[in-house]
Amino acid sequence: MPLDTPETTTMSRSAMKAELLDAETERALAYAWRDHRDEEALHRLINAYMRLAISMAAKFRRYGAPMNDLIQEAGLGLMKAADKFDPDRGVRFSTYAVWWIKASVQDYVMRNWSMVRTGSTSSQKSLFFNMRRVQARIEREAMAKGEELDRHQLREMVAHEVGVPLRDVEMMEGRLSGADFSLNATQSAEDEGREWIDTLEDEGLRGDELVEHDHDRDALRQWLADAMGRLNDRERFIVHERKLRDEPRTLESLGEELSLSKERVRQLEAAAFEKMRKHLERQGAEVQSLLA
């Protein structure tokens, strides 16, 4: 996959031709956007620093993401920075924007590195973007001293260096060690080889569990139907409208239809539930006596 395309080349050239803002002009544009929501000022500010966004995006090309997408994410970070920038703090916009651009691009890279979510905490981000570099430096320093580190020692030193728990290093190392592959890939080169998906445990109910589940569900439905049968027409109507509809009705709307007060409908609902509860308790007691 090419790292640069005609589109990215065009964007880069356009960004390089954008105006360079001095501190006074930059501050005036920031005030115009913050205080008056002047979109023309915002566009000037963003266009002037798009070269910074492209430069930051280019540093993440080694992770395999399309450069176009990286530039888009960097641009989003730049716009967030412009929206939140406070010129009263006395810092240059570029200094403030770098953090937002980097955070936006890093989030994109981590979201698209693998179908398995790599993580988004600060420690996981730090590991993802720094672990290989820190590992290589520690190994070089150990070699220069004539020392030989095993994998566990190296992980411990990386965890201490980056400031994260050892388990995070072990987890990230596993996730970065290999690429995604299809569960429909065969386990061997043979045409009739078993697919990896066939080795996954079926988390669904077993046959006997499914029969038992269906039996219990049917019994429960029958009990509820019997309990509903103990109610009078008005109580049954209230229970149905309040609990069995996709969009339950309010006490107020039922009161208007039945020419009752909201409080009276609530009392009838509570009385109906109490009748149903007592009936279900009797049903349960009868079942228990039969099983005893």
pLDDT at 279: 84
In-domain check, residue 197: no
11 plus 109 within the same structural domain: yes
131 plus 91 within the same structural domain: no
106 plus 127 within the same structural domain: no
151 plus 61 within the same structural domain: no
Between 238 and 182, residue with greater pLDDT? 238
Mark out the alpha helices in the chain (DSSP H runs): 6-16, 23-36, 39-48, 50-58, 67-84, 93-113, 122-144, 151-162, 166-176, 207-229, 233-243, 251-258, 262-291
- The total of structural domains in the chain comes to 3
Closest CA to 258 of 245, 250, 246: 250
Q: What is the CATH number of the domain that holds 30?
A: 1.20.120.1810
Is the separation of the CB atoms in 87 and 31 below 8 Å? yes
Domain boundary pick from 155, 176, 197: 176
Q: What is the pTM of this model?
A: 0.46
Looking at the predicted structure, is the pLDDT value of residue 24 above 90? yes
Range of the domain at 148: 122-176
47-51, 215-219, 269-273: the lowest-pLDDT one? 215-219
127 plus 105 within the same structural domain: no
pLDDT at 292: 47
Looking at the predicted structure, is the pLDDT value of residue 1 above 50? no
Looking at the predicted structure, is the pLDDT value of residue 286 above 80? no
In-domain check, residue 155: yes
Domain boundary pick from 65, 93, 113: 113
Distances from the Cα of 165 to the Cα of 109, 120, 144, 249, angstroms: 23, 15, 27, 52
Alpha-carbon distance 118 to 100, whole Å? 20
In-domain check, residue 263: yes
pLDDT class of 207 with cuts at 50, 70, 90: low
267 plus 219 within the same structural domain: yes
Looking at the predicted structure, is the pLDDT value of residue 288 above 70? no
Tokens of 171: 């987890």
In-domain check, residue 192: no
162 plus 212 within the same structural domain: no
Is the separation of the CB atoms in 124 and 165 below 8 Å? no
For residue 5, the cross-strand partners are none
pLDDT class of 35 with cuts at 50, 70, 90: very high
The 10s digit of each residue's pLDDT in 149-190 is: 888 888 888 888 878 788 777 777 766 665 545 555 665 655
Identity of residue 100: W
8-22, 70-84, 145-159, 178-192: the lowest-pLDDT one? 178-192
26 plus 103 within the same structural domain: yes
16-30, 95-109, 197-211: the lowest-pLDDT one? 197-211
95 plus 166 within the same structural domain: no
Q: What is the CATH number of the domain that holds 240?
A: 1.10.10.10
Is the separation of the CB atoms in 112 and 64 below 8 Å? no
Residues near 110 by beta carbon (within 8 Å), at least 6 away in sequence: 118, 119, 120, 124, 125, 128
Looking at the predicted structure, is the pLDDT value of residue 38 above 90? yes
For residue 195, the cross-strand partners are 186
The 10s digit of each residue's pLDDT in 248-277 is: 899 999 999 999 999 999 999 999 999 888
Between 285 and 89, residue with greater pLDDT? 89
pLDDT at 163: 81
Closest CA to 58 of 124, 110, 9, 123: 9
Domain boundary pick from 158, 176, 194: 176
